Amino acid sequence: MSTPLILWCLLIITIKLTEGQHPVPGRCPKVEPFKYIDVQRYGGLWYEVERFFFLPEVTGSCITVNYDPQKDGSLATTIRLKESVTGKKLAFPGNTIFLDSTLNKNFTIGNMQLTLELFNPILPQPKFQYTYSYKLADTDYDNYIIKFGCVSLLAVHFESVWILSRYPSYPARVERLVHNSLDRLGIDRSLLVRSKCDEIQETPKVFFPTEYHHHH
């Protein structure tokens, strides 16, 4: 294995271990997953409005997530963002599954796993998959999603929180709903960072490109 490839593999491993970017002493807190998710209502377009610092998203802004419910109970997932350095708008196709099986595929539990299709031209096989697990901690379907991720490592754990909204502008009333829910869940909201976006994204008609263009 070549040195660049070894370094790239080490980077991926490091990202996996630090998916949660806020280090806290002790083990992961017990945050219960949301029960029972109405998969059809959960689907559609969401805008990321707040989050803890998250390494894979450092160079991205204007992040949106689109969920398309599938017959097998999974969610075809597309994450779109604007690359901060070049200004390019990128789209990453993927699939979200629910880790707990239920009798009714339309109503399930919020232990979730996302697999994204990524691309890196320095690899012998440029296309590769990146998978991570998280919990849907709360949603009201019409206004917000609260996602929680945590990884334990020795005597500390690393937390991540993502807040998504149906509204790119994140109205104050929705922010109050989210912060009240975080307090109820016992999740520290003092480390939340407001996501930045200098434009309102539109959903492209073509799904799963590696790059798309914004039309006014």
Nearest to 95 by CA among 76, 117, 109, 71: 76
Sign of CA pseudo-dihedral 193, 198, 203, 205: negative
**Whether pTM exceeds 0.85:** no
Q: Does residue 47 contact residue 67 with C-beta atoms inside 8 Å?
A: no
Phi, psi of 118 (to 5 degrees): -115, 170
Q: Note the pLDDT of residue 191.
A: 83
**Burial of 20 per CB tally in 10 Å (0-12, 13-18, 19+):** buried
Q: Confidence class of residue 9 from pLDDT cuts 50, 70 and 90?
A: very low
pLDDT tens column, 145-158: 999 998 888 888 88
What does each C-alpha distance from 86 to 60, 72, 90, 198 come to in angstroms? 10, 38, 11, 15
pLDDT tens column, 59-117: 567 889 999 999 988 999 999 888 767 778 888 899 999 998 766 666 788 999 999 88
The alpha carbon of residue 36 and the mean position of all alpha carbons in its chain are separated, in whole angstroms, by 20
Q: Note the pLDDT of residue 104.
A: 67
Q: Distance between CA atoms of 40 and 30, rounded to whole angstroms?
A: 27
User: In CATH, what class is 3-194?
Assistant: mainly beta
Nearest to 157 by CA among 26, 19, 32: 26
